[in-house]
Structure 1
Amino acid sequence: MKAFLILEDGTVFTGKHIGANKDVVSEIVFNTSMAGYTEVFTDPSYAGQAVCMTYPLIGNYGVCLDDMESEKPWVDAIIVRELSRIPSNFRCDMSIQEFLERYEIPGIEGIDTRKLVRLLREKGTMNGYITTNENLKYEDVKEKLHAYVTGDVVRKVSCTEKKFLKGVSDLSENGPLSGSAVFNKEDYAAALSGDKSKREKRPAIVKELNGKGLKIALYDFGAKKNIADSLAARGCDVTIYPCGTSAEEVLKDDPDGIMLSNGPGDPKDCGDIIKEIKKLYDSDKPIFAICLGHQLMALATGADTFKLKYGHRGGNHPVKDLSTGRVYISSQNHGYVVDVDKLDRKVAEPAFVNANDGTNEGLSYVGKNIFTVQFHPEACPGPQDSSYLFDKFIDMIKKGGKN
């Protein structure tokens, strides 16, 4: 069955229908990751968006449900050059086609994705309409295309009640992998055997249980699963709070540290949340923020944000640590950044910068136990170069000093 992608500038792409058979209007973005599409599709930060994967073949290893970053996919639709319908991998639970049908997500394949991406890079991110209706014209959907906004997607993706994740408590039976790293050998062997009944969702690879006994409050603005997992794997007990939770309620629980998660949409749409984050800033609790959380903390302390022309989405983005000069390859998914030109240097200093375009990738707050990053140290998908930031957060809590 034919399918069509109509962009708000009037450009029309013709391809083949995949997934659920329904029309959708959404913001069209692209991701440059070569693998990790399951994690991309289930990342809540993509709520309200349709994702074009730039790598030409998607789906060759199928979908492993254990790799999902949330309980369901949040993308509105997917756009690919070629979809593999015969996956080959011992961890595969289903094909992408089956996955899309299960969760009623439409898509289109067979279009020139390179042309689409070049168009988005030239003109900027645009809204698009995906349909199987051959009689539908640009004029028929022009009003919908120009009127579409992602809206208040943070409340849509956040959990509705408080949840708790117990930290790993004992790694005495797990031998070292390299250096101070540890690895659950038994679960790794079960994974290699292909026995899904024994397979651990993600065999833990951590440096040490340096967070054992610490209580972390995680604000869920659309948190990827691996943020909580990364803390729990270091021994931290994690309490996950809905995005609308008051600062007073979180502080009443007396956490040792607070984590502000990633999430979708324009940070300036989160006015009520920003007010609560300002209270957390004033509390002097240690805080680590990722992606949307990074932007919200900046807005809460008087800084500003702006929308990028086409955003940073993929697993190959270089970021430079301004304190050491070292460059890390990072996983990213964002369309907005903090405007450092409007940053009060008495409040915060730039800590990381994007090595490609020079935009801000992190802040260190003056006189506070607070640091924030725009990229994803929890990866999934992507490199784990910057996973050490979770250990930095834990060390900061233990030392109790100022940055």
Structure 2
Amino acid sequence: MGKGYLVLENGAVFEGELAGDIEASGEVVFNTSMTGYQEIVSDPSYAGQIIVFCYPQIGNYGINHLDSESEHLHLHGVVTGEQCETPSHYLSNSSFSKGLTEHGIPSLTNVDTRALVKMLRDHGTMKGKLVPEVPAEHNNWNFEKSYVPFVSVKEIKHYPGKGPHIVLMDFGYKKSILTSLQSLECAVTVVPFNTTVDNFVDIQPDGVVLSNGPGDPEALSPYYDTIRVISETYPVFGICLGHQLLALAHGATTRKLTFGHRGSNHPVKHLETGKVYITSQNHGYEVVRESLENTGLSPTFINLNDKTVEGLKHHKYDIQSVQFHPEAHAGPADTAFLFKTFMQQITRTGDQHYAFT
């Protein structure tokens, strides 16, 4: 490791030790989780971002072959207070920093992450660069408008099962969404984010899951009509970005949060029962509650920290969605029952034949 720096767009510079000697740039965000760093860095929703871990020491149990949420790493960098280079776990096959550099991802450690996170909370998420030397100028902050085309599958892939046939529309899905559906014996067909209505007619699923994914949901506005028609035709369950896209497709609006929700301890309240669940979250945008009027959608969950919308259902169509991650990984599995709820919704729909209008 050599000396390195995180340079923020507001001019702030944080010094540390840079592993990988690789320069990178991205939106700088922070995650409050105490464990699950492997699942976090392999979540495609972090595409284009530099993650700052709030927990002071990362890497204690290393990296293994089982816990990654995607085959490739799509984030752009990692910042930590301290990294453990001698992990201890019977499944570990690599240190955290080595696992990152093998995928071309730089990490900056020995950083004052407490001061950095306080700055991000006060000023909001910012663009930043990981560099071995502080540049004379740092005003080039050009980034992709959407990383969804980079993280989505390019071809349809089918996973057999004895239960309902679910299409998983991939905007950057986590492996645990697929395995959650498979655990309920579903047959799952993973399709690219730009799959057309005609393709759905050919596949004829029993239900559709809109996955999580990176970036601003409004960057996917060309696909609103497809999502609306699909959700008016099949039972649909939206997760994270999928939740936002369903809201937008039915006329609601979204907006960017100051520093987002990224962590494994976010309390949400189920409005129907009053019960509170602890959830895993990773998003930088919210559905604007006031915009739901006349959309047919109403909130089902709210965030107890800031009262943002955490879930939706439609009054007419078989649509439900959540802003958090019921599949967890990392985080608590308090809301895993929502996959069973979706299966019950499909069962109620029965064997009716769907007709596009």
Tell me how far 1:346 sits from its aligned partner: 5.3
Tell me the alpha carbon deviations over residues 344-384 of structure 1, each in whole angstroms, 9 at most, x when there is no partner. 25511111000100001010111111100000000000000
Question: Residue 307 of structure 1 contacts residue 336 of structure 1 at CA under 8 Å; is this kept in 2?
Answer: yes
2:66 counterpart SS class: helix
One-letter amino acid matched to 1:332? Q
Q: Report which stretch shifted further, 95-104 or 231-240.
A: 95-104
Residue from 186, 196, 203 that aligns with 1:236: 186
Residue 323 of structure 1: aligned partner? 272
Tell me the alpha carbon deviations over residues 176-202 of structure 1, each in whole angstroms, 9 at most, x when there is no partner. xxxxxxxxxxxxxxxxxxxxxxxxxxx
Residue 66 of structure 2: aligned partner? 66
1:160 matched to 2:157? The reply is no
One-letter amino acid matched to 1:56? P
Residue 37 of structure 2: aligned partner? 37
1:316 counterpart SS class: strand
Tell me how far 1:150 sits from its aligned partner: 4.0
1:37 and 1:389 map into 2 onto residues whose CA distance is 24
Gaps of 5+ in 1: 168-211
Kindly report which structure 2 residues correspond to 1:127-142, keeping only aligned pairs within 5 A, or say none. Answer: 127-134=127-134, 136-137=135-136, 140-141=137-138
Question: Residue 346 of structure 1 contacts residue 366 of structure 1 at CA under 8 Å; is this kept in 2?
Answer: no
Kindly report which structure 2 residues correspond to 1:103-252, keeping only aligned pairs within 5 A, or say none. Answer: 103-134=103-134, 136-137=135-136, 140-141=137-138, 143-144=139-140, 147-167=141-161, 212-252=162-202
Tell me how far 1:89 sits from its aligned partner: 0.3
1:36 and 1:282 map into 2 onto residues whose CA distance is 36
1:301 and 1:248 map into 2 onto residues whose CA distance is 20
Question: Residue 150 of structure 1 contacts residue 265 of structure 1 at CA under 8 Å; is this kept in 2?
Answer: no
Cα separation, partners in 2 of 1:274 and 1:346, compared to 1, 3 Å: closer
Question: Residue 231 of structure 2 contacts residue 318 of structure 2 at CA under 8 Å; is this kept in 1?
Answer: no
Residue 182 of structure 1: aligned partner? none
2:212 counterpart SS class: coil
Gaps of 5+ in 2: 351-357
2:285 counterpart SS class: strand
Kindly report which structure 2 residues correspond to 1:214-363, keeping only aligned pairs within 5 A, or say none. Answer: 214-283=164-233, 285-345=234-294, 347-363=296-312
Tell me the TM-score normalized by structure 2: 0.96
2:152 and 2:64 map into 1 onto residues whose CA distance is 23
1:281 and 1:213 map into 2 onto residues whose CA distance is 21
Tell me how far 1:251 sits from its aligned partner: 2.9
Tell me the alpha carbon deviations over residues 29-57 of structure 1, each in whole angstroms, 9 at most, x when there is no partner. 00011110011111000001000010000
Computed over aligned residues only, the root mean square deviation of the Cα atoms, in angstroms, reads: 1.1
Tell me how far 1:152 sits from its aligned partner: 2.0
Tell me how far 1:101 sits from its aligned partner: 1.7
2:206 and 2:99 map into 1 onto residues whose CA distance is 39
1:95 and 1:346 map into 2 onto residues whose CA distance is 49
Cα separation, partners in 2 of 1:314 and 1:150, compared to 1, 3 Å: farther
Tell me the alpha carbon deviations over residues 381-401 of structure 1, each in whole angstroms, 9 at most, x when there is no partner. 000000000000000100128
Residue 195 of structure 1: aligned partner? none
Residue 10 of structure 1: aligned partner? 11
1:13 counterpart SS class: strand
One-letter amino acid matched to 1:30? F
Identity of aligned residues (%): 44
Residue 203 of structure 1: aligned partner? none
Tell me how far 1:25 sits from its aligned partner: 1.4
1:232 counterpart SS class: helix
1:230 and 1:100 map into 2 onto residues whose CA distance is 27
Question: Residue 165 of structure 1 contacts residue 228 of structure 1 at CA under 8 Å; is this kept in 2?
Answer: no
1:37 and 1:391 map into 2 onto residues whose CA distance is 27
2:294 and 2:80 map into 1 onto residues whose CA distance is 43
Tell me how far 1:121 sits from its aligned partner: 0.4
Question: Residue 73 of structure 2 contacts residue 103 of structure 2 at CA under 8 Å; is this kept in 1?
Answer: yes
Tell me the alpha carbon deviations over residues 240-299 of structure 1, each in whole angstroms, 9 at most, x when there is no partner. 00111102202321110000000001000002222210111232x110010000000100
Residue from 317, 325, 341 that aligns with 1:368: 317
2:85 counterpart SS class: coil
1:66 counterpart SS class: coil
Question: Residue 27 of structure 1 contacts residue 150 of structure 1 at CA under 8 Å; is this kept in 2?
Answer: no
One-letter amino acid matched to 2:68? M
Residue 390 of structure 1: aligned partner? 339
1:90 and 1:336 map into 2 onto residues whose CA distance is 38
Q: Report the number of matched residues.
A: 349
1:331 counterpart SS class: strand
